[in-house]
A and B are shown apart, each in its own frame.
Chain A
């Protein structure tokens, strides 16, 4: 009965490849997020998706694209992976913006 789940947990790939990370929440929440956590543990919001409205952090390269097939899913697709994309990516969801967020376990992406 995991609330927010992500797959895969680990992802190792080469530069230039395209990869996707999947996220699902069973909490009935309206808002979902993607965060990037770097090696120093700093958390940076990448996207929030609230009632089909996408709010993009302007510093995120357009190689990153979120895709939401329905309210319970928000996938992250990354094109032309670079070494600097190596990080842990967290999905989260909340009832609405500003409400408490519930996080998935994270996906550790390593680009070689």
Chain B
């Protein structure tokens, strides 16, 4: 079955860019999502990309997809303390359940 991996921790300075990486194993994955979880809260959908796209930009967020390497990344520009959270990558194919990565805990240092 699908396996999704992420680094567990990332620390950046306020104002720097953050890059959170995700790798997956199923080359037929067609829908790829990023979710944010703040302490004590549920998961909030941030953005998503379809497998026929290489890049998607949404304000401070940029998603890059390398299908050949099965690698997805989320770049957060001008990272703020409010961006401190756990970021989950999730991948799926049509008609299938999501497979979530283990989450990357982003710490933003002042």
Chain A 48-71, CB-CB to B under 8 Å as 1, else 0, gives 100000010000000000000000
A49 to B90: give the CA distance in the assembly, Å: 19
Size of the A side of the interface (Cβ < 8 Å), in residues, is: 21
Pick from A45, A100, A105: contact of B97, CB under 8 Å: A45
**Are A90 and B43 interface neighbours, CB within 8 A?**
yes
B94 (CB) vs chain A CBs: closest residue: A98
Query: Shortest CB–CB separation between residue A97 and chain B, in angstroms?
Result: 5
A48 to B95: give the CA distance in the assembly, Å: 11
Q: Which B residues have a C-beta under 8 Å from some C-beta of A? A: 30-31, 33, 35, 37, 40-45, 48, 86, 88, 92-98, 100, 102-103, 105
Q: Which A residues have a C-beta under 8 Å from some C-beta of B? A: 4, 33, 40-43, 45, 48, 55, 90, 92, 97-106
